[in-house]
């Protein structure tokens, strides 16, 4: 398990999403509107820059106030959000394969956000643009897992607000008023994403001998998924008369392409053919849990075939087709090759 490479950039995405929350904070004075600069890093770094003597030839040395800085200051496991570690999430890759990933592990990311200003008015103006949105949490939408087209809400909780005034020392020293906000982001970490084939056929062999190594299979049940609706769009015939919801005898224009025990699809109803006489069909309405409905004369009749079953996706509703076979040839199935071989 350990050593299997997986990197979904979850921490990075959470940091970027958190910083984006404060990316458009503005400061408005009587004749000026400015966007408050935002940077990732410890507040001590910017305070140290403030204390440096600016070089007139290098404008990058001195920084301007106000500004906002933020950084991660802790990562901790959250047992209150734990789910079953053996449960898997499955999502579609294509028609033949799924992707699997174990349930995510809950972790809390602690953030410290510092508002640094040179006077109270600027600091309070910035603070008032932030606090009303946290009561005490704000749901942050983040697309955590790139393989899953799903946006997860990550609660961001404001846990404390502290105030600090560094106006001490010499008269010429620059003043810095600091509001420090502590946040907790409740995110999730995912492990490796693996591929998994979709099971489309189940074969069960029955034996009468307890020694399965030398016992031949005598009865076999084969189960495959069947479509509950037409998928290839091929019309086999049309209704020659209207039918009501409780009609078990329906007439079609041409029943030559419909066999006994076939499944047909009309509008949104799946119908099972139990008997056929000419162009008249005795049917079982509302097959496989579909709702019986009235159908107009001339409605298209679709035949559910293997082509429709092949077009099934892993997230589609489906029924089951069962086939029973009996054998007397003293053979058994080789699970590796999939062939019946002599014992």
CATH number of 143's domain: 3.30.2000.40
207: domain range? 199-342
The answer on 135 and 113 residing in a single domain is: yes
The answer on 126 and 72 residing in a single domain is: yes
Contacts of 290 (CB under 8 A, 6+ apart): 228, 268, 269, 270
Quick check: bond before 66 cis, omega within 30? yes
Q: Determine the pLDDT at residue 2.
A: 66
Q: Which of 126-130, 198-202, 214-218, 222-226 has the highest mean pLDDT?
A: 126-130
Q: Share the mean pLDDT of the chain.
A: 86
CA 207 – CA 218 distance, rounded (Å): 6
Q: Is residue 86 part of a domain?
A: yes
Domain stop point among 150, 165, 195? 195
The answer on 232 and 188 residing in a single domain is: no
The position carrying tokens 């906002």 is 68
> Rounded to a whole number, what is the largest CA-CA distance in the chain?
107
Of 67-71, 229-233, 264-268, 338-342, the poorest mean pLDDT is in 338-342
The answer on 278 and 141 residing in a single domain is: no
With contact defined as beta carbons under 8 Å apart, do 63 and 118 qualify? Answer: no
Q: What's the pLDDT band for 171 if we cut at 50, 70, 90?
A: low
In the predicted structure, residue 131 carries a pLDDT above the cut 90 = yes
Q: Is residue 265 part of a domain?
A: yes
Of 108, 113, 109, 110, the residue nearest 161 (C-alpha)? 113
The answer on 230 and 135 residing in a single domain is: no
Section 209-231 average pLDDT: 86
Of 8-12, 33-37, 95-99, 329-333, the poorest mean pLDDT is in 95-99
Q: Is residue 47 part of a domain?
A: yes
Of 229, 334, 331, 240, the residue nearest 271 (C-alpha)? 229
Give the CA distances from residue 25 to residues 4, 22, 200, in Å, rounded to whole numbers and listed in that order. Answer: 42, 6, 55
Of 98, 105, 63, 116, the residue nearest 82 (C-alpha)? 105
The answer on 210 and 139 residing in a single domain is: no
> What distance lies between CA 232 and its chain's CA centroid?
28
The answer on 292 and 179 residing in a single domain is: no
Q: Is residue 3 part of a domain?
A: no
The answer on 323 and 229 residing in a single domain is: yes
Q: Determine the pLDDT at residue 328.
A: 87
Domain stop point among 127, 162, 195? 195
Q: What's the pLDDT band for 42 if we cut at 50, 70, 90?
A: confident
Section 137-144 average pLDDT: 90
Q: Is residue 5 part of a domain?
A: no
Q: Is residue 153 part of a domain?
A: yes
Q: Is residue 34 part of a domain?
A: yes
The answer on 36 and 77 residing in a single domain is: yes
Residue 228 tokens read as 């509950």
- Comparing 211 with 71, which gets the higher pLDDT? 71
Domain stop point among 169, 195, 221? 195
In the predicted structure, residue 167 carries a pLDDT above the cut 80 = no
In the predicted structure, residue 55 carries a pLDDT above the cut 70 = no
Of 48-62, 65-79, 123-137, 138-152, the poorest mean pLDDT is in 48-62
The answer on 190 and 46 residing in a single domain is: yes
The answer on 158 and 20 residing in a single domain is: yes
- Comparing 283 with 201, which gets the higher pLDDT? 283
Q: Taking the alpha carbons of 68, 72, 74, 79 in that order, is the dihedral positive or negative?
A: positive
The position carrying tokens 């084939």 is 197
Q: Determine the pLDDT at residue 3.
A: 66
Residues facing 105 on adjacent strands: 189
How many domains does the chain divide into? Answer: 2
Q: Is residue 157 part of a domain?
A: yes
Q: Determine the pLDDT at residue 208.
A: 82
pTM, two decimals, is 0.61
Residue 251 tokens read as 């007439």
The answer on 228 and 210 residing in a single domain is: yes
């Amino acid at each position: 398990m350990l050593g299997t490479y997986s990197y979904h950039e979850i921490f990075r995405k959470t940091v970027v999403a958190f910083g984006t929350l404060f990316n458009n904070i503005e400061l408005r004075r009587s004749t000026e509107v400015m966007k408050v600069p935002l940077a990732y890093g410890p507040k001590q770094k910017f305070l140290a820059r403030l204390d440096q003597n600016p070089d007139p030839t290098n404008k990058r040395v001195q920084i301007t106030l106000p500004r906002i800085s933020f950084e991660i200051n802790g990562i901790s496991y959250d047992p209150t959000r734990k789910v079953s570690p053996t449960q898997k999430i499955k999502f579609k890759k294509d028609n033949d394969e799924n992707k699997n990933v174990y349930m995510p592990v809950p972790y809390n990311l602690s953030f410290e956000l510092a508002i640094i200003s040179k006077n109270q008015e600027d600091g309070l103006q910035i603070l008032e643009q932030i606090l009303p949105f946290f009561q005490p949490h704000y749901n942050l939408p983040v697309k955590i897992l790139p393989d899953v087209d799903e946006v997860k809400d990550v609660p961001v909780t404001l846990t404390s607000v502290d105030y600090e005034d560094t106006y001490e020392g010499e008269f010429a020293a620059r003043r810095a008023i600091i509001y420090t906000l502590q946040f907790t982001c409740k995110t999730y970490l995912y492990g490796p994403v693996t591929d998994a084939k979709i099971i489309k056929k189940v074969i069960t062999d029955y034996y009468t001998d307890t020694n399965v190594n030398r016992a031949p299979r005598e009865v076999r049940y084969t189960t495959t998924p069947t479509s509950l609706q037409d998928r290839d769009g091929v019309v086999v015939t049309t209704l020659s008369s209207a039918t009501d919801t409780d009609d078990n005898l329906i007439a079609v224009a041409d029943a030559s392409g419909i066999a006994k025990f076939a499944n047909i699809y009309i509008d949104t109803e799946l119908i099972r053919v139990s008997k056929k006489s000419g162009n008249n069909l005795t049917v079982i309405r509302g097959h496989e849990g579909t709702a019986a409905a009235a159908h107009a004369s001339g409605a298209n009749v679709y035949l559910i075939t293997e082509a429709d079953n092949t077009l099934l996706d892993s997230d589609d509703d489906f029924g089951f087709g069962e086939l029973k076979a009996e054998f007397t040839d003293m053979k058994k199935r080789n699970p590796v090759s999939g062939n019946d071989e002599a014992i």
